[in-house]
A = this chain, B = another copy of it.
Amino acid sequence: MGRGQGEGYYKMKELSNGITAVPGFLASGIYAGIKKVEKKDLALIFSEKQCTAAGLFTKNEVKGAPVIISQRNIKKGAGQAIIANSGNSNVCTGKQGIKDADEMAALTAKALSIKPNLICVASTGVIGEPLPMEKIRNGIANVVSKISREGGRDAAEAIMTTDTFLKEKAVQIEINGKAVTIGGIAKGSGMIYPNMATMLAFIGTDAKIASGDLKRALKAAVDKSFNMTTVDGDTSTSDMVICLANGVSGVSITKSKGYKAFQEGLSYVCKELAKMVVKDGEGATKFVEIKIKGAKTFNDAKKIGMAIANSNLVKTALFASDANWGRIMCAIGYSGVRIKDNKIDIFFDNVKMVGNGVGLGKDAEREATEALKQKEFAITIDLRLGKAEAALWTCDFSYDYVRINAAYRT
């Protein structure tokens, strides 16, 4: 499936069972009564062995209490468990919120007989309401008692909010003849416009890797996966990607040994999870890859791609299978990047719709419309100014986005 650069071949194969595909990881997910409807809302991920750990967190200036607590606990690069609830984000809850997140860590640590600073806490859901701590206390006792080698799916389900399907991915890579597993879970599906980290994603691996190297690899993976997606342009207050590495495989990864293979495996898991989040974007009926080619820099390419991917006008046109390339040109124009509009080519899948900034007529449009009727397609923009490129992922914008978000708290 992949090829390590400069390190010879290696193999990658997909596994089922998400994060619990990774040796040494247990998980569980239960209904603790936090959500109004009876759907799982409390998840636990636990490594039997202490891990090196890395985390990336939202750059939103308004940070949820769990973000603050997890950032503090993970600072030394160690971790062993993640306790996460859905149904309430514990954001804008003042000092009580911090206390509550801290108590979640403490209770989980006690029940697992590990130190509290080895716990990451995450919460997702409505902003501004106090956590129902009585339910959480009972829930933690319950969720700890249920952890198992098969619990990955339950944990993935318990972190869902408006998600319509659960998101998990695991791969096994071979490094110098030995197997290393990387598995993770994630949730979407609104307030998705990641900046640094995004929404919630929890990844485990049995690689043996120092926390500094793990963080570097995680940042590289997230920058090309979660950070290349947008559903609605809203960067959440609760975004968090945590990676725990328990070393159980016995395979040591260092900057000079196995790093590229590990990086590719980790990037693959992140990218697949990120794509699932976009596919399940609130109200989404279509999954769209936007490729920007011929830019002067990667940042230029990303800026232009994000301007297109965040344009309500583009997204409503995609919903209608309308090859309205004028709105794409318009978004390119206000992206903040210097371009030459009379050089731009635009393709819908492999149908060339715009050449040198001008539309190529009714026949092209008819073919482009067919491409846009698919559930998944790519839009490629060639700026013809340089050699940098970027690929990002978004979805269309339908009535259901409005319905879901007009009704979210009712």
A contact residues vs B (CB 8 Å cutoff): 59-63, 89, 91-94, 126-129, 190-191, 193, 195, 232-237, 310-313, 316-317, 319-320, 322, 324-327, 329-335, 337-339, 341-342, 354, 356-359, 397-399, 401-403, 405-410
A401 contacts B236, CB within 8 Å? no
The number of times this chain is found in the oligomer is 2
Contact between B357 and A234 (Cβ–Cβ < 8 Å)?
Answer: no
Q: Which residues of B contact A313 (CB under 8 A)?
A: 190-191, 232, 234, 405
Given the complex, which residues of B lie within 8 Å of A354, measured CB to CB?
92, 128
A60 engages B334 (CB within 8 Å): yes
Q: Are B233 and A311 in contact (CB under 8 A)?
A: yes
Residues of B within 8 A of A232 (CB): 312-313
Contacts of A399 in B (CB 8 A): 399, 402-403
B62 touches A316 (CB 8 A): no
Q: Give the distance in Å from the alpha carbon of A253 to the alpha carbon of B195 in the complex.
A: 50
For the complex, give the distance between the alpha carbons of A333 and B408 in Å: 21
Report the minimum CB–CB distance from A97 to chain B (whole Å). Answer: 9
CB <8 Å contact, A126 and B237: no
Determine how close the nearest CB of chain B comes to the CB of A390; give it in whole angstroms. Answer: 18
Query: Can you give 10 contacting A-B residue pairs, CB < 8 Å?
Result: A62-B339, A63-B333, A89-B326, A92-B326, A94-B356, A94-B358, A126-B326, A127-B326, A193-B334, A235-B334
Q: Is the CB of B398 within 8 A of A334?
A: no
Nearest chain B CB to A277 CB, angstrom units:
16
Q: How distant is A98 from chain B, measured CB to nearest CB, in Å?
A: 11
B61 touches A406 (CB 8 A): no
Bound-state CA distance A236–B331 (Å) is 8
Are the C-beta atoms of A406 and B316 separated by less than 8 Å? Answer: yes
Give A94 to B356 CA distance when docked, in angstroms. 8
**Considering the chains assembled together, what is the distance between the CA atoms of A193 and B233 in angstroms?**
15
List of B residues within 8 angstroms of A407 by Cβ: 320
CB distance from A53 to the nearest CB of B (A): 25
